[in-house]
Amino acid sequence: MIDDFIKKYNLPEYRKTQFYTQYYKNVISSFDELSNWSKELRESLKTEVEFSSIIPSKVFGDVSKDTMKILFKRTSDNKLFESVLLRHKDGRNTVCVSCMIGCPVGCKFCATGKMGFISNLISTEIVDQILYFQRLLKIIDQKVTNIVFMGMGEPLLNIKEVFGAIDIITDPQKLALSIRRITISTCGVINGIRELIKLKYKGRLAISLHAPEQQLRESLIPMAKLNKLEDLMNVLDDYVETTGQRVSYEYVLLNGVNDTKKCAEDLSILLGGRMAHVNLIRYNIIDNGEFTKSIQENVNHFCAVLKKYKINYTVRVSLGSEIEGACGQLTTDNS
């Protein structure tokens, strides 16, 4: 790590500032570009500090398109995982970061869940995903504007490393992004949400709900058995009260499973009177998936019910399905 290097060589504080500026703000592509450091120092740095903890193994799409996906290889053990860049028409460039390789939650509709849990990513491995896209965007004079923890893995089951990454992302000397531009998406890990309250998390929070009642929910999200819907809603009420922030709810529409009028009514009753926004997500087909995408008629009826109950909602247009970079399609089987 750079901090250890600076300590070891007893370098003055301004060297650290120089490094941060070049590495995080000017997003240099190699230590050779540290022009304000002596050649000798640069050479020592190159041999002792790794420039990036991950390297691209396969690239899908390119930075001029609305989505780009990278299959990364972790240098420490060559394990693979993916990240996505979403370029929105309004100028936002969102990196969908992974915080794990695989995921232990095992949602039935999710390609990552089907892989099972392989490993946690550490904070530098999370930040290096962002830096990789930042370097590409620099070429077209743009920047990463938003981060969503919606790639592989469950952020609230790797909260220490996720917060380590958020510290680097929001540090004014480093990536300097506002915390308001960060979204954590969770399948509803109650202890993790308690931790967010304790840590005074100020970013955005998205809850992957997918069902308005316990039984259906745990049939889709096995880990929901340990995180009962009623308890989840209670902790979210605490969250909203202490942070004053609205929570958004993600709801993947699965044909004939959770897209019925009854589900829409139950969802409206559950969220009525709460500060909530529902994101309806079109299901992205995955290999060996047992589900299909909701037919348009079901989507229309579902939306009509939410409207009747005055629940805020959006039907999310899913970018990236042509490169299997859309929600839930991330896996490492790209052969």
Question: Closest CB to ligand SAH among 252 and 271?
Answer: 252
Question: Closest CB to ligand SF4 among 187 and 253?
Answer: 187
Q: Is 321 exposed, middle or buried (0-12, 13-18, 19+ CB in 10 A)?
A: middle
Task: Show Cβ contacts of residue 292 under 8 Å, excluding neighbours closer than 6 positions.
Answer: 254, 255, 256, 283, 285
DSSP one-letter code for 181: G
Conformation bin of residue 74: beta by default, left when phi > 0, alpha when psi is -120 to 50: beta
311 binds, among ligand SAH, ligand SF4, none (CB under 5 to 8 A by kind): none
Question: Closest CB to ligand SAH among 126 and 281?
Answer: 281
State the Cα–Cα distance between residues 2 and 182, nearest whole angstrom: 25
Q: How far apart are CB 106 and ligand SF4 at their closest, in Å?
A: 6
Residue nearest to ligand SF4 (CB): 113
Q: 237, 231, 198: which is closest to 217 by C-alpha? A: 231
Q: How far apart are CB 220 and ligand SAH at their closest, in Å?
A: 9
150 binds, among ligand SF4, ligand SAH, none (CB under 5 to 8 A by kind): ligand SAH
286 binds, among ligand SAH, ligand SF4, none (CB under 5 to 8 A by kind): ligand SAH
Q: 241, 232, 316, 321: which is closest to 277 by C-alpha? A: 316
106 binds, among ligand SAH, ligand SF4, none (CB under 5 to 8 A by kind): ligand SF4
Q: In DSSP terms, which residues pair with 93 in a beta bridge?
A: 87
3 token code pair: 């901090």
Q: 3-class SS at 269? A: helix
Question: Closest CB to ligand SAH among 34 and 152?
Answer: 152
Angle in degrees, CA 160, 80, 285, rounded to 5? 95
Q: Cα dist. 205→105, 183, 235 in Å? A: 18, 6, 13
State the Cα–Cα distance between residues 254 and 162, nearest whole angstrom: 30
Instruction: Using DSSP bridges, classify how beta strands 276-282 and 312-316 pair: parallel, antiparallel or unpaired.
Output: parallel
161 belongs to the catalytic site: no
Kindly list the residues in this chain that would bind ligand SAH in the complex (CB under 6 A): 109-110, 150, 154, 185-187, 208, 250, 252, 281, 283-284, 286, 327-328
> Which one from 33, 50, 82, 187 is the annotated catalytic residue?
82
Under rule CB under 6 A, how many of the chain's residues touch ligand SF4?
12
Footprint of ligand SF4 on 98-157 (CB under 6 A): 103, 105-107, 110, 112-113, 153-154
Footprint of ligand SF4 on 189-248 (CB under 6 A): 208
Q: How far apart are CB 16 and ligand SAH at their closest, in Å?
A: 34
Question: Closest CB to ligand SF4 among 112 and 227?
Answer: 112
327 belongs to the catalytic site: yes
Question: Closest CB to ligand SF4 among 103 and 182?
Answer: 103
Q: How far apart are CB 276 and ligand SAH at their closest, in Å?
A: 15
161 binds, among ligand SAH, ligand SF4, none (CB under 5 to 8 A by kind): none
79 token code pair: 């394990």
Q: 3-class SS at 186? A: strand
5 token code pair: 């290097």
Q: What residues make contact with ligand SF4 under the rule CB under 6 A?
A: 103, 105-107, 110, 112-113, 153-154, 187, 208, 328
Active site residues: 82, 327
